[in-house]
Structures are given as structure tokens and as C-alpha cells.
Amino acid sequence: MTEKNVLTAIRDALHDEMSEDDRIVLLGEDVGARGGVFRISEGWVMEFGEQRVIDTPLAESGIVGVAIGMALHGLLPVAEIEFADFIHPAFDQIVSEAARMRYRSNGDFGCPLVIRAPCGGGIHGALYHSQSIEAYYGHVPGLKVVLPSTPADAAGLLRSALADPDPVLFLEHKKCYRAVKGEVPDGRYTTPIGLADVKRQGTDLTAVSYGYSLHLCLDAADRLHQDEGISVEVVDVRTIAPLDKQTILSSVRKTGKAIVVYEDNRTYGAGAEIASTIAEEAMFDLDGPLVRIGGPDIPAMPFAAPLEHYFIEPEPDHIYRAMRDLARF
């Protein structure tokens, strides 16, 4: 085991996979000479060559479109979108082409494509470098959407994404990149796509989350246990689509209470689907109201530090108090 942050875990896993499989091609804005905006591919253009680490024009639709063509001709492309906020010009390529390739060909063609995109706020990125986009794409059948929260999961899920025969949108929360550290197993391993993980065992209530919000839940759960002896089980969704309903419902049925926490705008966010699943399939197992905490319904994350903090962490003790009140209900 080696301690790494999320950024290093992703870099190492992708580098090792590219070293082992020359079909893997990385393409995106600034991934070559600059090494990517977060320096994940720094030095790789010299190591792997310009045909495998490709600097592209500022055209996300073109990046994904070219990657789809590569996938259909035997390569394993990793299309890097510099920030998830800029992915929208490629929406049609992702939704109408990549995600529907297997369905429209009656299973004759797959589209083994990984689209990496740094997402989320908390790094003072303001309106155009802080968006949470998982709900837009989690809605699309044929597309897997992954959002790891820890270094070990990031590396394992990235390897699984590269091995998947269909397109995977691999979202990386920027706040987690350097702030979150953890032990990563040495050697090659994979983490299954579509399987949630119980990051903290508990008996009094279940908190379901992902991304940076997961770590806010873990912190609140630890404090509640120390302050009041309340035991919170924390479930990391890890994969937005397909959603691991079994792990979530099993935890909720065990504790009898559920709170869903996510950073995206509260209305129609991925957390709404999670909450709906709990309401539909475990309503009569609940001993209290189903609680949902999401980001405020404003157009974008503000630049001003106090307002940014309010968006990503509405109040320092907001999650803590919501968990405490639910446990006491």
C-alpha cells in the first residue's frame, strides 16, 4: 500500500495502463506539451509520442467525435475535457453517438471510450470551472457515469473504465484532487463499475453521497459519534449510472433513516434519483423523513469566497445538524 492523493492515483493508473497497452490514446486540450491543466500527463508526450498523447484544438465536440472514431477502429481513446464545464459542446456526440452505438447497431458495435472531466467546486473556480454535470449524463442509457471520491477508488475505477466495452464518463472532483489522500494498493487492481461502497459502518442512520460531499458526510459522522454517540453509516455511491440500489437500500433498511447529500443543484440532481429510489423501495423501512441536502438552486457557483463556501458547504455544521436531527426523530 502507498499513500497517494486522488490526482497522483489517477496519473499513476493511467500511465501504467498506457505503458501496458499501446492501443490507449490520450487526446485533449493541452495534454501534450503542457501535460494537462492539472499536469496529469506531464512528460508523457516525450515518453509515448505525439501519436498517443495528442494536443487538440479547443473544440470539445471534435475531441469526443474523433475519440468515437478511434474507438470504432480498434483503439482505446481517453478523451480529456479540460474542465467539465466545457463538455457541453460535445453533448450531442456523447449522447446521440457514443451512448447509442451498441443499441443502434443491435450489439454489433461497442464504443470503448473513456471521457475524463474534472468537475465540482471548492477551488475558487467560479462560474465556468465549478459545475457538477453528473445528472445531465446519468440520465442517458448506454452511458456509464463514474465519480470516485478516494485515491484507491479513482485508480481502480479508471482501470475498469478502460476495460469497459462501452463509453464511460469518468468525473474527477477537483476539490478531491490534492485534498484527499489515502492508501492505494500496490500493483494492478480494478474496482467494479456499478458497485457502491460503505465507507463507514453505522446503525442509527444512513448518509448516501459521492464526490467531495462524501468527505463532508464522513467528517460530520465522526463528529456526531464523538459528541453524541450517534452512529452514521456512510455510503459512497461511486457510480452515478448504473446506480447500485442494492447497497443503498440494504444500508437504509438496516438503519431505518436516510439522508442524501450532494453538491449539485438540489432540484433534479442525482441525489433526487437516489432519494426517489429509497422512497419507492424502502418507504416502509424508514423510521423518519427522507432528508435531501443539495446545492442551492442558483445559476452557478459564485466567485466570492464566502458565497462559494455557502454553495459547497451551506453552513459549517449544516450536514452535522441535519444528521443529528434525523437521528433524534
pLDDT digits over 227-249, tens only? Answer: 999 999 999 999 999 999 999 99
Among 184, 211, 244, residue at a domain's last position: 184
| Stated pTM of the model | 0.96
CA distances (Å), origin 322, targets 6, 7, 204, 223, 266: 28, 31, 13, 13, 15
pLDDT in tens, 254-299: 999 999 999 999 999 999 999 999 999 999 999 999 999 999 999 9
Residues 179 and 250 in one domain: no
pLDDT in tens, 84-120: 999 999 999 999 999 999 999 999 999 999 999 999 9
CATH number at residue 13: 3.40.50.970
CB 152 within 8 A of CB 180: no
Rounded distance, CA 32 to CA 34, Å?
6
CB 249 within 8 A of CB 206: no
Residues 17 and 90 in one domain: yes
Question: Residues with catalytic annotation?
Answer: 129
Residues 143 and 50 in one domain: yes
Residues 173 and 248 in one domain: no
What's the sign of the alpha-carbon dihedral 157, 158, 161, 162? negative
CB 75 within 8 A of CB 111: no
Is there a domain that residue 258 lies in? yes
Query: For the chain, how many structural domains are there in total?
Result: 2
Rounded distance, CA 168 to CA 286, Å?
34
Domain that holds residue 318: 197-328
CATH number at residue 277: 3.40.50.920
C-alpha cell at 163: 476495460
Q: Is the peptide bond before 242 cis (omega within 30 degrees of 0)?
A: yes
The residue written with cell numbers 481517453 in the block is 78
Is there a domain that residue 190 lies in? no
Among 160, 184, 208, residue at a domain's last position: 184
Among 120, 149, 184, residue at a domain's last position: 184
Is there a domain that residue 189 lies in? no
Checking DSSP bridges between strand 239-241 and strand 144-146, what pairing results, if any? antiparallel
Rounded distance, CA 211 to CA 132, Å?
10
Residues 322 and 246 in one domain: yes
Q: Helices in 21-167 by DSSP H: which ranges?
A: 44-48, 60-72, 91-92, 101-104, 134-138, 151-163
Residues 271 and 216 in one domain: yes
Please give the average per-residue pLDDT across 13-17, as a whole number: 98
